[in-house]
Amino acid sequence: MKRLKISIFVILTFSFLFPLCAEAKSENWYFVPTSDHSRPQGVLDEITLASLNSCYIGKDEKVVYLTFDIGYINENVIAIKDILKKQKVPAAFFILGHVAKTESTLLKEMVTDGHTICNHTYSHKDMSKIKDETTFLNELARLEQEYKKTNGYDISKYYRPPAGQFSKENLQFAKNGGYTTVFWSVAYADWDNNRQPNEKVALAKLMGRLHNGAVILLHPTSKTNAAILETFIQNLKADGYRFGDVHELTIK
């Protein structure tokens, strides 16, 4: 009887422990901004990210990468596209399913202008809650298929988790699907159109957080971003920065 009780205890213990061990840890991407233009440390280090075909920062040289997360279209998106074209600056646009489905003309113009269209998932769900690879990759494939059907192009194999929510398991899933996960090392609170930051304050934040190899995350629907982007680009050019293409981030 004593042995039976011990066996039951062991079985119950393992049944509770193994699901906890198997469950991937959900994390939110973040970095600690610096005030001296040094390169910030992210929640995962560069070596760990590289092993998972992921990145948040480029090489330690005077180059920056403009990236935009785009969930819908408004006049600010058009203004930003025009500024990028005028300044001859490439950018990566991480799009959602609604944009792929309804904005064919605009997306084709972006490709013609030299921009890269990337995967921000079809429906902007919390991907860190997905625990199996098939379900995870199906969400990315749904956007791939919509973009191909509507625009005639293959989407570029760069993935950004909605709201920066991820798990290491997710990053491995994306890698297995041929994707590079692209986080960021410069950003500010620009996403709420009802609470747009002051233009001078926003520009000062971006300039103050700048560093070599910066991957800059902006939301193109932002009125503030549309107002300050050209000045921001001109300031960076004057400081000797080059605007890199997102494809450079995969070059070892």
Catalytic residues: 69, 219
DSSP 8-state code for residue 186: B
Cβ(210)–Cβ(57) under 8 Å?
Answer: no
Q: For Cα atoms 88, 89, 95, give the angle at the middle one, nearest 5 degrees.
A: 125
CA distance 135 to 132: 6
Sign of CA dihedral 122, 68, 211, 194: negative
Structure tokens at 101: 């489905």
Instruction: Report which of 56, 52, 51 is spatially closest to residue 31, judged by C-alpha positions.
Output: 56
Q: Where are the alpha helices (DSSP H) in the chain?
A: 2-22, 46-51, 75-87, 97-102, 104-112, 133-151, 168-176, 199-208, 223-238
